[in-house]
């Protein structure tokens, strides 16, 4: 087992925040509800949409296949392009940013020792042509990732790439496409079979935002030289740490309790603020996980509700110079989660200089490692002083093991919080509604899309007085 990540919740508590924090008694009063939430998450382990809980331990054969495929891709291609959106893109991007060089694609080939990686989620019309400008399609492997196999963004990208590949390499196009999709649902699996594409499966019980630790994320990571077994081992370690239904012994359950109490006190915003560029995209991944899982309008008993907490992405130190003023003095509606790195993978010493300006000369002989942590500690203090709920997750260092721990910690915390809110954590009807409406707008003629088009016509006309 590697070094463990740690959660510090001191500055969530009223011991530090006067009336703006949480009382220990409030957590204690939740113990029966917390035990129930823990039991319900455990009861669902591996069932329904909780297949993600098995991923750290049930993929030995898949990991071997992924490693073999990744090694071939590394030998044969210079570019690896992920086509996917939402859960099919945010995890691969977050893990790549965390675990590879911050300028990975710009590194010389011999230092990278693996293909350049591009993750193409959006369908901005300029984006695909921009991609084509920087890759050599004859040397590119495309990983088409979509669980439903029908997401318009990804499948339209697939059609564009297929056409371009056929023009560039003729019948060899099949060797340039790897598909990651559901084995049992959607159209892409049938296309993949007909075309004999190499295929990896997204287990039925693993939803998009919980899919980073299955082939969705593992293939791109392995292609780029990331130790995927260590990622899974880290996740497994976190799973073991969170086995207990005693909130004082289960960090993810404790955090779920705090976030739940905080939400009930009007903390409608969850700010994720890593103090490390490598963790910047963890905030994007977390934003989808937290927002899509917890933003719901009906309880499991069918009662109307409007719950959830809006995730906000921030980066330390950068956003101290942008958002911190609001966090310190604006409304009491936020919980700020710092991600702190103890031991960075590089040390940047600050040389001596500007001797006649004492306040700048003072920095000489110190390091960016010291400065970034001092800035984080300073921000933590400022938030404490203005009585704002904040907590810190410390990564001893950023490696595959600690990232596996971190991802699984947030997944478990999300599942526990959803259970406390008594909602379906694993569906996304609001997302499905927009997918359906978009196809209806595009003019697709299936029964449900035609019905949706009709329904959309019942929206009142836009009023001229509101148009400027
Ligand atoms: O979490 C989810 O399920 C969604 O955000 C999906 O990841 C996203 O909509 C993409 O879906 P698909 O993988 O089916 O293309």
Using one digit for the tens of pLDDT, what is the confidence trace for 417-437? 999 999 999 999 998 888 889
Nearest Cα neighbor of 387 from 21, 27, 25 is: 21
Active-site residue 321, yes or no? Answer: yes
Q: Residue range 78-98: average pLDDT?
A: 98
- Compute the distance between CA of residue 239 and CA of residue 183 in angstroms, rounded to an integer: 26
Q: What is the rounded CA–CA span in Å between residue 261 and residue 270?
A: 13
Cα separation values, 187 from 144, 180, 181, 443, Å: 13, 12, 9, 19
Query: Which one of 52, 82, 84, 85 would you pick to mutate in the ligand 1 pocket, going by the greatest count of ligand atoms within 8 A of its CB?
Result: 85
Distance 100 CA to ligand 1 centre (A): 25
How much is the pLDDT for 372?
A: 98
| Residue-averaged pLDDT of the chain | 97
**Is 116 part of the annotated catalytic residue set?**
no
Asked if residue 460 has pLDDT above 80, the reply is: yes
Q: Which atom of ligand 1 is nearest the CA belonging to 154?
A: 15
Number of C-beta neighbours around residue 111 at 10 A: 9
Tell which residue, 99, 144, 140, has the closest CA to residue 404. Answer: 99
Instruction: Determine contact, residues 330/323, Cβ cutoff 8 Å.
Output: no
Residue ID of nearest Cα to ligand 1 atom 9:
86
CA-to-CA dists, residue 319 to 103, 170, 231, angstroms: 21, 48, 29
**The pLDDT value given to residue 298:** 97
Contact in structure between 179 and 198 (CB atoms under 8 Å): yes
Query: What percentage of the chain carries pLDDT values higher than 90?
Result: 97
Ligand 1 geometric centre to CA of 208 (Å): 5
Q: Would the CB of 428 count as within 6 Å of ligand 1?
A: yes
Q: What is the pLDDT of residue 435?
A: 87
Q: Give the pTM.
A: 0.97
Residue of 82, 95, 188 whose CA lies nearest to 144: 82
The reply to whether ligand 1 has any atom less than 6 angstroms from the CB of 186 is no
Ligand 1 neighbourhood includes 49 CB (under 6 angstroms): no
Q: Is ligand 1 within 6 A of the CB of residue 88?
A: yes
Query: Which residue's alpha carbon is nearest to atom 2 within ligand 1?
Result: 208
* Catalytic choice (292, 296, 380, 449): 292
Q: What is the pLDDT of residues 371-403, one digit of tens each?
A: 999 999 999 999 999 999 999 999 999 999 999
Q: Is the dihedral of CA 354, 358, 359, 361 positive or negative?
A: positive
CA of 295 to the centre of ligand 1 (A): 15
Check whether 150 has a pLDDT greater than 90.
no
Contact 338, 317 (CB under 8 A): no
Q: Is the pLDDT of residue 1 over 80?
A: no
For residue 433, what pLDDT is reported? 87
Q: Is 461 considered catalytic here?
A: no
Q: Do 305 and 423 meet the contact criterion of CB atoms below 8 Å apart?
A: yes
Per-residue pLDDT tens digits for 355-372: 999 999 999 999 999 999
Name the active-site residue from 321, 447, 457, 461.
321
pLDDT in tens, 222-253: 999 999 999 999 999 999 999 999 999 999 99
Q: Which single residue is written with the structure tokens 């700010």?
A: 271
Is 148's C-beta closer than 6 angstroms to any atom of ligand 1? yes
Mean pLDDT of all residues in 112-134 = 96
Alpha carbon distance 338, 315 (integer Å): 9
Would the CA dihedral through 101, 105, 107, 109 be positive or negative?
Answer: positive
């Amino acid at each position: 087992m590697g070094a463990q990540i740690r959660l510090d919740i001191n500055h969530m508590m009223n011991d530090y925040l006067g009336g703006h924090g949480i009382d220990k008694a409030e957590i204690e009063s939740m113990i029966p509800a917390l035990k129930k939430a823990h039991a319900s998450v455990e009861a669902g382990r591996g069932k329904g949409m909780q297949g993600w809980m098995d991923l750290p331990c049930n993929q030995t054969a898949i990991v071997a296949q992924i490693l073999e495929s990744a090694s071939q891709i590394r030998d044969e291609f210079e570019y690896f392009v992920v086509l996917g959106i939402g859960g099919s893109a945010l995890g691969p991007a977050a893990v790549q940013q965390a675990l590879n060089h911050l300028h990975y694609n710009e590194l010389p080939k011999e230092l990278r020792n693996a293909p350049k990686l591009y993750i193409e989620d959006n369908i901005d019309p300029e984006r695909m042509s921009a991609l084509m400008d920087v890759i050599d399609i004859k040397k590119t492997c495309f990983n088409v990732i979509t669980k439903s196999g029908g997401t318009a963004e990804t499948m339209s990208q697939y059609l564009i790439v297929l056409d371009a590949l056929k023009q560039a390499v003729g019948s060899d196009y099949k060797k340039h496409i790897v598909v990651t999709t559901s084995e049992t649902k959607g159209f892409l699996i049938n296309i993949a079979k007909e075309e004999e594409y190499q295929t990896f499966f997204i287990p039925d019980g693993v939803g998009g935002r919980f899919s980073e630790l299955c082939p969705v994320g593992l293939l791109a990571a392995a292609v780029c030289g990331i130790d995927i077994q260590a990622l899974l081992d880290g996740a497994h370690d976190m799973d073991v740490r969170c086995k207990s239904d005693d909130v004082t012994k289960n960090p993810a359950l404790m955090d779920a309790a705090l976030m739940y109490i905080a939400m009930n006190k009007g903390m409608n915003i969850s700010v994720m603020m890593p103090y490390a560029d490598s963790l910047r995209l963890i905030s994007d991944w977390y934003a989808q996980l937290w927002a899509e899982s917890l933003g719901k309008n009906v309880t499991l008993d069918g009662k109307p509700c409007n719950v959830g907490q809006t995730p906000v992405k921030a980066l330390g130190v950068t956003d101290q110079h942008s958002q911190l003023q609001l966090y310190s003095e604006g409304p009491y509606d936020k919980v700020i989660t710092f991600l702190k790195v103890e031991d960075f993978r590089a040390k940047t010493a600050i040389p001596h200089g500007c001797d006649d300006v004492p306040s700048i000369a003072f920095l000489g002989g110190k390091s960016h490692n010291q400065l970034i942590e001092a800035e984080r500690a300073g921000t933590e203090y400022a938030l404490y002083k203005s009585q704002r709920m904040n907590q810190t997750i410390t990564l001893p260092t950023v490696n595959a093991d600690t990232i596996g721990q971190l991802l699984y910690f947030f997944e478990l915390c999300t599942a526990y919080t959803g259970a406390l809110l008594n909602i379906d954590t694993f569906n996304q009807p609001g997302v499905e509604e927009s997918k359906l409406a978009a196809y209806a707008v595009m003019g697709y003629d299936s029964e449900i899309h035609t019905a949706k088009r009709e329904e959309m016509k019942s929206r009142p006309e836009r009023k001229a007085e509101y148009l400027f």
